[in-house]
Structure 1
Amino acid sequence: MKPKIYIDGKEGTTGLQIYERLGGRDDIELLLIDEDKRKDIEERRKFLNAADIAFLCLPDAAAREAVSLIENDTTRVIDASTAHRTDPDWDYGFAELSKAHREAIKNSKRVANPGCHASGFISSVYPLVANGIIAEDTALTCASLTGYSGGGKKMIAEYQDENRDPRHDSERIYGLNLHHKHLPEMGYICGLTQAPVFVPIVGDFYKGMATTVMIPGVDAHLVHGTLAKHYEGQQLVTVAPFGGEEPMIYANTLAGHDSLKLIVCGHEEQTIVTALFDNLGKGASGAAVQNMNIMLGLDETTGLNL
């Protein structure tokens, strides 16, 4: 019998991207709610309880509500919201961080899918803390440039409006209060005792992401070697040759892909690590499908574009 999959919130950007990756597969059965009942609580309850795996592509409060509607011990959940990413009762859905993370996802009933900016930061920082290359109290700085699809339907419409604000032609720095919603996740998962200074930036391109962490006082070659060893053999996270493959980095290089590439640059006293990926791929929907594949015991790349 094919596993039954339900996407609660299929109409949003993340949900639609998950549907695109699953719609043509014949190894699963997609449960599709009637359009006019997608906000009906009782109808959602029925679909959530009928699913073997349910994706939650919802605002935080609605995601918590969806979990409360599940009344059985069999429905497994992958939550794409921020609601459960620092909840110790949920498993963090980034399999490449460690064997323990991968095993937890495989057996989990509740998986919190990582945030996009957080994926770039954590992929760079977690192995360095875990291997003692940087201390837990290191003062880190991070700037993350993303395509505008990361802002959801409202921002997409704003950028694609033919009468849009001409300033959208340039990059837009936001989150100026330095309390971005991904910060708790970054610190919690990496085991940091000091929150990084984090600045998110939106660019005038649909999708793609370049998250750069700046690390003072550490040899860049040591960082590169550590990351290369940590991710050796992984299919969806790779490390580029030291300094990258060209003398510049374009944020949309991996748009349309579900993989992530780390680029380490610098010298003996200063290092930057840039995570290149698609904010809708390894930064959201691609990661969610990867987690589903692992939970079902399938090759993790099934239905994904490396």
Structure 2
Amino acid sequence: MNKPKIYIDGQAGTTGLQILERLKEREDLELILIAQADRKDPEKRKECFAKADLAFLCLPDQAAIEAVSLAEGTSTKIIDASTAHRTSWVYGFPELDPDQRKKIKEAKYVANPGCHATGFISIVHPLIQANLIKPDISIHAFSLTGYSGGGKSMIQQYEGDQENDLLKSPAIYGLSMQHKHIPEMQKISGLSRKPLFTPIVDDYYNGMLVSIQFELDARQVFEVLNKAYQDQPLIEVEFGNNSFLYANAMRNTDHLKLYVHGNEEQTIVCASFDNLGKGACGAAIQNMNIMLGFEETKGLR
């Protein structure tokens, strides 16, 4: 059997580089590598797309849209890690619904979820499906993330400016209330209202904690979420008694863990995962495995 050929368009970025490094360990795949000097050459990239069975787009939004046009006329399957196609392509969150894996497997184009959106949707979507909350609910969520989520420029900022005391404390951003993950949060969760979302970056490399509060019985919320994910290999639900939850606790893994805390009247649900794992590269490799017929968790941590 021929090994599937994989091309990464944008392999020098944070996500692309990590996917590349992880796929290098796979003996059941053949990587199509493009020379440094040719990475922005449309014709050379077009040749790579034509050779590939599957391509990852690890590019800014507009560049990802342009890359799709370079692959036109080929049979190459595409996983886009950018925001560009998340509300129009098949959504790459296999745990979303019972038939989502089938949709991903049969799709030519799959949109990899955003990191913040992954945590948000993993909490909200099952609660709406179970009618525990209504689609028109007003939801406020906050998300703690390591600085690697900001890509090369933010990594360089945090690791290169050791004298800036401001970078040693948490920073709220997305203050226009128009964070780029909000459209997929709303659509994929099934909300009729845009959520109120506050992202926060802090001085650690990777790891994420997305938290949402509800006026609901915590035990009831746990039962709904636990039932939704009981057969999922990469998602675990725990009724917690933790005194603290740390945002980097699931770093360097490809799993997601939901913690449900609270009482009979109020609940907080926290999604703990790695923004570079289940929030990016791990999710992309999981989707690749499904699309190419490999065991879903192969090569995951």
TM-score range relative to shorter protein: over 0.9
1:236 maps to: 234
Match of 1:273 among 246, 269, 274: 269
Task: Give the counterpart letter for 1:27 in structure 2.
Answer: D
Q: Map of 1:18-37 to 2, 5 A cutoff? A: 18-37=19-38
Alignment: residue pair count: 300
Deviations 1:244-291 (A, max 9, x none): 5x3210000010001100001111221111000000000001100000
2:127 maps to: 128
Cα separation, 1, equivalents of 2:294 and 2:140? 37
Q: CA deviation at 1:73?
A: 4.5
Q: Map of 1:226-305 to 2, 5 A cutoff? A: 226-240=224-238, 242-244=239-241, 246-305=242-301
Cα separation, 2, equivalents of 1:184 and 1:36? 36
Cα separation, 2, equivalents of 1:23 and 1:227? 35
Q: Map of 1:160-239 to 2, 5 A cutoff? A: 160-216=159-215, 218-239=216-237
Q: Moved runs in structure 1, 4+ residues, more than 4 A? A: none
Cα separation, 2, equivalents of 1:239 and 1:163? 38
Task: Give the counterpart letter for 1:20 in structure 2.
Answer: E
Task: Give the counterpart letter for 1:109 in structure 2.
Answer: K
Q: CA deviation at 1:58?
A: 0.3
Cα separation, 1, equivalents of 2:104 and 2:162? 45
2:56 maps to: 55
How many percent identity over aligned positions? 56
Q: Map of 1:59-74 to 2, 5 A cutoff? A: 59-74=60-75
Cα separation, 2, equivalents of 1:174 and 1:5? 35
Q: CA deviation at 1:101?
A: 1.1
| CA contact 1:158–1:164 (8 Å) conserved in 2 | no
State the TM-score, normalized to the length of structure 1.
0.96
Q: SS where residue 95 of structure 2 aligns?
A: helix
Cα separation, 2, equivalents of 1:251 and 1:52? 36
| CA contact 1:81–1:113 (8 Å) conserved in 2 | yes
State the TM-score, normalized to the length of structure 2.
0.98
Q: CA deviation at 1:186?
A: 0.2
Cα separation, 1, equivalents of 2:183 and 2:289? 27
1:5 maps to: 6
Give yes or no for the alignment of 1:108 onto 2:107. Answer: yes
Q: CA deviation at 1:72?
A: 2.7
Q: SS where residue 210 of structure 1 aligns?
A: strand
| CA contact 2:147–2:154 (8 Å) conserved in 1 | yes
1:154 maps to: 153
RMSD: 1.0
Gap runs ≥5 in structure 2: none
Q: SS where residue 275 of structure 1 aligns?
A: strand
Task: Give the counterpart letter for 2:275 in structure 1.
Answer: N
Gap runs ≥5 in structure 1: none
Q: Which moved more, 1:221-230 or 1:155-164?
A: 155-164
Q: SS where residue 97 of structure 1 aligns?
A: coil
Q: SS where residue 296 of structure 2 aligns?
A: coil
Q: SS where residue 254 of structure 1 aligns?
A: coil
Q: SS where residue 99 of structure 1 aligns?
A: coil
| CA contact 1:141–1:215 (8 Å) conserved in 2 | no
Task: Give the counterpart letter for 1:31 in structure 2.
Answer: I
Give yes or no for the alignment of 1:83 onto 2:84. Answer: yes
Task: Give the counterpart letter for 1:234 in structure 2.
Answer: Q
Deviations 1:175-209 (A, max 9, x none): 11111000000000011011111000001100000
Cα separation, 1, equivalents of 2:191 and 2:71? 34
| CA contact 2:50–2:74 (8 Å) conserved in 1 | no
Q: CA deviation at 1:298?
A: 1.1
Cα separation, 2, equivalents of 1:153 and 1:288? 19
Q: SS where residue 150 of structure 2 aligns?
A: helix
